[in-house]
Amino acid sequence: MTNIQELSAFATRIAREAGAIAMEGFRNRELGIDLKADFHDMVTKYDRACEEHIRGAILEAYPGSTIVGEEDGASEGSGPLAWHIDPIDGTANFARGMALWAVSIGIARDGEMIVGVVYDPANDHMFMADDRGAFLNDEPMRSWGFTRPEQATVVLNFPLPRDLVHLPELALEQFTEASRQFAQVRALGSSCISLCWVAAGWVDATVSFEANSWDVAASAFIVRQAGGAYRSYLGGEEQPPERDYLNPHYYATVPGGDYPILEQIMLTQSERPLPADHPAAALLTTPNS
Ligand code: IPD
Ligand code: CA
Ligand code: CA
C-alpha cells in the first residue's frame, strides 16, 4: 500500500507545478475565457492546462487511480485511490487579477480522505494535511478564532445567484441578519481558500451551497486536521462525516465556533433540489421517490 506521506509529497509537488502553469496566466490578458453553465461560470485555457498537467502526472505515477476533476470529469480506475482535483478554484478571481485562487488536490483511499493539498501560488501559501496533521508552508497549522458572532469574521459565500433561485427572500433576510450579527462578513470567491483560511485561523467560519467534491475534498480535510470543524448538509439535514466531501452544502468553523444564524441558514437553505447534472443530485433520490 502506498505510504500516505509519499502521496502528500507527490501531491504537493504537482500542485506547485500546476501553480507555476497558472501563474503564467495570472494578470495576463490572453486567458482564452469561455463560459460554462452561464455568465457567472467561466473557464480559461489555464484551468484546462493545469488539470491536464495534474492528470498526466497522477496517471503516470499512480496508474489505476480514479480522477474526479472539474474540467475533464470523472475517470474511473481500478485502484483504491481517488483524486478530487480543482485545477484553479476561484477562476473568476484568477481571470480578473485578484490573488484569491488556488490549486486543490484531495486524495481518498477506499473513500476515506488521507491527503489534502491546496496551493495558492500568488501568495505562496502551501496548505497541506496528511496523517501527521495540517501544515502551512511546512509549519504545523492549528485553527483558532472567535467563537461568538459579534467578534467573528465569516466568509459567507451566500447568497450567490444560484442561491437566489430557491428561497430568494429568505436568503436575503438571512444575509441581512448575518451582516448585523457578525463583526465582519466577506465573500472570497474561492471555496478552498475560504476553508483553508478557517484552518489557518485567519477567519472564523465559512458557508457555501452546491459545492462539488473537487471544491472541498482537500480543504475540508485540511480544516479537520487543523482542529477546526467541517459539517456537510443535504436535504435540510446535517450529514454523517463519512465521505462527506461528496455532499454539496457545507459549514466550517474554528474550534468551538457557535453561530446559530449560520446553522439556521444551513438547515433551511440545504433543503433544496439540486440541478440534475450536479454529481450529488443522485444522493437526494430516495428509494421511494
Ligand atoms: C467556484 C469557487 C466559488 C464557489 C463556486 C465554485 P471555480 O469554483 O469556489 O467560491 O462559490 O461554487 O464553483 O469555478 O472558481 O473553480
Ligand atoms: Ca471550484
Ligand atoms: Ca475550478
pLDDT digits (tens, 9 = 90+) for 245-282: 999 999 999 999 999 999 999 999 999 999 888 888 88
Across residues 158-167, what is the average pLDDT?
Answer: 94
- State how far the alpha carbon of 8 is from the alpha carbons of 15, 132, 134, 202, 219, in Å: 10, 10, 11, 24, 14
pLDDT value of residue 1 = 67
Across residues 221-236, what is the average pLDDT?
Answer: 98
Cβ of 248 less than 6 Å from ligand 1: no
Q: How far is the CA of 156 from the centre of ligand 2 (A)?
A: 16
The conformation of residue 252, written as its DSSP 8-state character, comes to E
**Would you tell me the crossing angle of helices 4-25 and 45-61 to the nearest 10 degrees?**
160
- Best probe residue, ligand 1, of 89, 101, 164, 212 (max atoms within 8 Å of C-beta): 89
Cβ of 44 less than 6 Å from ligand 1: no
Rounded Cα distance, 156 and 116, in Å: 22
Sign of CA dihedral 275, 211, 272, 163: negative
pLDDT tier at 106, thresholds 50, 70, 90: very high
- Best probe residue, ligand 1, of 104, 155, 215 (max atoms within 8 Å of C-beta): 215
Cβ of 104 less than 6 Å from ligand 1: no
pLDDT value of residue 286 = 55
Cβ of 208 less than 6 Å from ligand 1: yes
Q: Which atom of ligand 1 is nearest to the CA of 86?
A: 16
In the chain, the percentage of residues whose pLDDT exceeds 90 is 88
pTM passes above 0.85: yes
CB 83 within 8 A of CB 107: yes
Query: Residues forming the annotated binding site?
Result: 70, 86, 88-89, 215
